[in-house]
Amino acid sequence: MLLDVGLFLHQSIRRNVWIAPAVAAAFLAAATGAASSFSGGTSSPLAAQQTPPAAAPAQPATTQTGSTAQDPATQARAGLNIVVLDPAHGGTDLGARGTGGIHESDIVLDFAAQVRTALESQGFQVVQTRQGNANPSFDDRSAMANAQRGAIFVTLHIASTGTAGTARVYVMSDMPTGTDATGLILWDRAQAPFASLSRKLGDQVQGLLAQRFKGSPANAQTASVRQLRTTAAPAIAVEISSVIVEDRAQLDHMAPGVADAIARGAAAFRPTYVVPANPGERP
């Protein structure tokens, strides 16, 4: 029991690191306000205290280490800060196979490495569903995202069709929401409450992909992607065309552009996502 309490406190402190500088800033502001009122100033300490905590990290508050709270890592803690990155397939499931011995499962792993670097440079913490040649189940992959608070989910695919050099973003087709008697989101319909958020994220990323890769659609498309259905977070599938290229280098050249589009799209989406208080809750 004590261990649980300790763990809870530890997690709370980890998740709410921004509280310390926020409280310090509010305290300082209150003190300054009080001093100002004594000196005839107009600023109100109460107003400073009522500043929403989420806004506090955006203020240039001094931290214990002397650095400012504006660095991306600190900002990220206030809301969306985790991206669960899913290189699809793996293990015996090779995914799409090209004539030149190109396997989807290999390429997406290489893409994932570049996407990860780009996301980390935007201040995101990245959780990968697989590092090597493993093949977690669809549910296991979704579970990694569903266990996080404030995460988005991006699954990477290489198609066997489509114009080479294009990229498409898919979001789950609309589905009715459902909850059980306790109000929990049903696993089979976990994506339903996040559909509109997924659409926003998908359109952000697709827009950036369309700028880089001519012939790509302007907006995200809908499809009944199995991996997305059980994911309780804003979730998109990014599919690159295609394994039917003569030289794998053609695909490899796309990786930096795809990584940049996903990272910038996620960063642009960040302010619009109000993170649920607990994992598994409705947005």
Site residues, other proteins (CB under 8 A):
88-89, 93, 95-97, 104, 137-140, 142-143, 157-163, 168, 170, 173-176, 178, 180, 184, 186-189, 217, 221-227, 229-230, 237, 239, 241-242
DSSP string over 128-187:
ES-SSS----HHHHHHHHHTSSSEEEEEEEE-SSS-TT-EEEEEEPP----B-TTSPBPG
Taking the complex as a whole, the smallest distance from the CB of residue 163 to other proteins amounts, in Å, to 5
Taking the complex as a whole, the smallest distance from the CB of residue 139 to other proteins amounts, in Å, to 3
Read off the amino acid at residue 140: D
State the CB neighbour count (10 A cutoff) for residue 121: 13
Contact 58, 75 (CB under 8 A): yes
Round to whole Å and give the CA distance between 162 and 139. 28
Closest CB to other proteins among residues 71, 93: 93
Closest CB to other proteins among residues 112, 171: 171
Read off the amino acid at residue 193: P
Contact 273, 197 (CB under 8 A): yes
Taking the complex as a whole, the smallest distance from the CB of residue 11 to other proteins amounts, in Å, to 22
Taking the complex as a whole, the smallest distance from the CB of residue 178 to other proteins amounts, in Å, to 6
- What is each CA distance from 264 to 144, 222, 259, in whole angstroms? 23, 21, 9
Closest CB to other proteins among residues 11, 179: 179
Taking the complex as a whole, the smallest distance from the CB of residue 171 to other proteins amounts, in Å, to 11
Closest CB to other proteins among residues 77, 141: 141
Closest CB to other proteins among residues 218, 274: 218
Which residues touch 187 (CB under 8 Å, ≥6 apart)? Answer: 139, 230
Closest CB to other proteins among residues 83, 243: 243
Q: Which helix (H) or strand (E) holds 13?
A: helix 2-15
Taking the complex as a whole, the smallest distance from the CB of residue 200 to other proteins amounts, in Å, to 17
